[in-house]
Amino acid sequence: MALLTNLLSRLGIGRRPAPAPTLPNEEQKPTSELGRRPTPENQVKYLYRQMYVDPALRAAILDIRRMDREDGRVKKLHGRMARSAITGGLRLEGSPSKRIINQWKLFERRLQLRNQQKLESDCRGLVMEGSLPMQWVLGPDNRVVAGVRMPTETLLPKVGLNGRFEDPANAYEQIDLITGMTVARFPLWQLTLVRLTPDNYDDLGSLGRPYLDASRTVWQKLQMTDEDLVIRRRTRAPQRFSHVLEGASPDELTTYRTRVEDDQKEITTDFFSNKKGGVTALQGDANLDQIADVSYLLDTFYAGSPAPKGLFGYSEGLSRDILEDLKRDYFEEIDALQDTLSAVYDQGFRLDLLLAGINPEAEEFEVVFAERRTETLNQAADRALKYQALGVPPTMVWEAAGLDAAKVKARKEQDAKDFDPYPDPDNIGKPPPGAPPVRVTPGNGRKGESATTIATRA
């Protein structure tokens, strides 16, 4: 008890923090503004976080991984979220210079950010673990050559009572979960961590939560009910027969029963008796179609997931309009996931620019995903055409259409050299002669939205 009290006292739990030293002309701040003390119900959890990884988060991550391995619905949900988020890949948005664009191309190639498997693996890790800790590996030339995703449940953020890192040179520690020893330490610049729905965003020691964290109990009940349903069908569904051999001795009845059961391929469902009677058919369970409890658990499970169950084949009783609304909500979740995931690569690219001697804050740019999932390709084209009609700069028009403005410009310049030996500088950006006109028709799309119409010339 004395050891625990001493440890609590050293961590600042259970006593008032000492006032910070002040200069002669500096006004003393109230004690409540000097640091954040944990609430009484969080003191034990905070004590664990000072010494070891969060056991509750580790248990949640292990449960989510087991669900992903054993249930195809969970695996499909994680896979669809990851593939929906990384569609189109990454691109630079803003007004970067050619130097920044060239550095991004090299960074993208070194870190394999054009590889769909790499992006999908990072996104699946973020969805299943609730956090994405990315370790930046430097090469011999002090440039970022790889981004390695670390397991979240082995990391321990070294934060103080105020939720901030006490030493940026030792911001994270990796714990061996078997021996409890520290196997690696990471400075703040070397490991970038983003979180999904943390309990407190300003507390840097509060890690994120997996998407299906709150659905684990419902999933366990659903698995148990599914198994009970199969057992009930196998034991109660088959038709039974009652064999009655009047006057037969026990040995004769046993011989007859053995001969009949040897011919059976499934569960033994017959009954035998040596009393007066005959072979009578017994009807199986007539209430096997009553699975309302399974349907309820299935609805509850998908209600806590970001994707509607209609996207996974459970479309019974689901109208098209309701499915469209649920899909819109799902795509909003995907957009938020894209923003969280792209923040990791944005931070890594800015670190790479600093190592190359380039100030990333001198120019306006950010790393984003090319395609936003809240709108269809037709809607993105409509918005780009409307921007063009309003006189928006061409680079923003291409970005609104979901295209990389730098790649479009480079491709247009290359095509002008390859196919037009005498380019007309006054005709750049105009449609070629004979091209069909493109019009935006208001109210002609689904749910009253605009639609793009392309008319053929006579």
For 261-304, the pLDDT digits (tens) are: 776 655 455 555 555 555 555 555 555 556 666 677 777 777 76
pLDDT-above-90 percentage for the chain: 20
Are 51 and 132 members of one domain? yes
Q: What is the DSSP string of 362-396?
A: GS-EEEEES--TTS-HHHHHHHHHHHHHTT--HHH
Are 225 and 341 members of one domain? no
Q: Is residue 27 part of a domain?
A: no
Q: Is 25 left (phi over 0), alpha (psi -120 to 50) or beta?
A: alpha
Overall average pLDDT of the 219-247 stretch: 73
Number of domain units in the chain: 3
pLDDT-above-70 percentage for the chain: 64
Higher pLDDT, 443 or 343: 343
Are 204 and 304 members of one domain? no
Overall average pLDDT of the 22-30 stretch: 44
For 33-52, letters b (16+ CB in 10 Å) and e give: ebebbbeeeeeeebbebbee
Are 150 and 75 members of one domain? yes
Are 348 and 260 members of one domain? no
Are 409 and 280 members of one domain? no
Rounded-to-integer distance, Cα 145 and Cα 140, Å? 9
Q: Is residue 292 part of a domain?
A: yes
Pairing label, strands 271-273, 240-244? parallel
pTM over 0.75: no
Instruction: Give the residue from 229, 214, 228 showing the smallest Cα distance to 300.
Output: 214
Instruction: Give the residue from 71, 255, 51, 259 showing the smallest Cα distance to 158.
Output: 51
Rounded-to-integer distance, Cα 279 and Cα 289, Å? 28
Q: Is residue 364 part of a domain?
A: yes
Q: Is residue 28 part of a domain?
A: no
- Per-residue pLDDT tens digits for 27-81: 444 433 445 555 555 666 666 667 788 888 889 999 999 989 988 888 988 888 8
Tokens found for residue 278:
């005959």
Q: Is residue 30 part of a domain?
A: no
Angle between helices 43-51 and 2-11 (to 10 degrees): 80
Rounded-to-integer distance, Cα 164 and Cα 160, Å? 6
- pLDDT category, 5, cuts 50, 70, 90? very low
Instruction: Assess whether pLDDT exceeds 60 at residue 248.
Output: yes
Residue 236, pLDDT score = 65
- What residue numbers bound the domain in which 399 lies? 375-458
Instruction: Give the residue from 154, 142, 152, 80 showing the smallest Cα distance to 357.
Output: 142
Rounded-to-integer distance, Cα 366 and Cα 95, Å? 9
Are 170 and 73 members of one domain? yes
Are 117 and 136 members of one domain? yes
- Per-residue pLDDT tens digits for 377-427: 667 777 777 777 777 777 777 777 777 677 777 777 766 666 655 555 555
Mean pLDDT, rounded, of the chain = 75
Are 285 and 431 members of one domain? no
The answer to whether 452 and 429 have CB atoms below 8 angstroms apart is no
Are 162 and 260 members of one domain? no
The partner residues of 136 in beta bridges, in order of sequence, read 147
Rounded-to-integer distance, Cα 161 and Cα 9, Å? 12
- Per-residue pLDDT tens digits for 326-372: 777 788 888 889 999 999 999 999 999 999 999 998 888 889 888 77
